[in-house]
Amino acid sequence: MSKQPAHDKAKAKAKAEPANRTIALNKRARHEYHLIDRVEAGLALQGWEVKAIRAGRANLTDGYAYVEDGEIYLVGAQITPLIQASTHVIANDRRTRKLLLHRHEIDKLIGRVQRDGYTLVPTALYWSRNKIKLEIALAKGKKEHDKRDTAKERDWQREKQRAMRRHNKDA
């Protein structure tokens, strides 16, 4: 009967527990747009950007994706460089980054954007098997009354949950 060393047990436990893989969320996209379809894409990043993302310095709020020459690019997403990691590189925190997708996925998205008038909006940045992935969504802009309806629905759901908790607590 062989015993596992303590550090092997810790590694096994770390693999068994899924860590928080989310790096950045774009909550504003859910408020501003009707999200129709979501696609996972890779990102062409530089070394300093990966280090900055590991430190949690990514922001997707003002980002969007656009189509050019049969490729899809991410614009406006901010990755703030670390001072110690980018001393030899002139870092542009809002540079245009190429999205890595299969050709059939690109063709499908291009068709929906050009034909149906959708917008490509980044919704989440996360780790997937030691790779940084970006979730982009096909989206349609909400009108002001849609935003109010969403807020009313959210408030109603919250109030309903409170009432259920009070009811269950009293019972």
pLDDT of 133 over the 90 cut = yes
pLDDT of 152 over the 80 cut = yes
* Residue that is written with structure tokens 């860590």 in the block: 19
Query: What pLDDT is attached to residue 84?
Result: 78
What 3-state DSSP class applies to 102?
coil
C-alpha span between 114 and 96 (Å, rounded): 21
C-alpha span between 135 and 74 (Å, rounded): 11
For the chain, the structural domain boundaries read 20-142
Mean of all residue pLDDT scores within the chain: 83
DSSP run (H or E) holding 148: helix 144-170
Query: What pLDDT is attached to residue 16?
Result: 52
In this structure, what DSSP letter does residue 3 have?
A: P
Q: What is the mean pLDDT of residues 92-116?
A: 89
- Under CATH, domain 20-142 is a member of which superfamily? Small protein B (2.40.280.10)
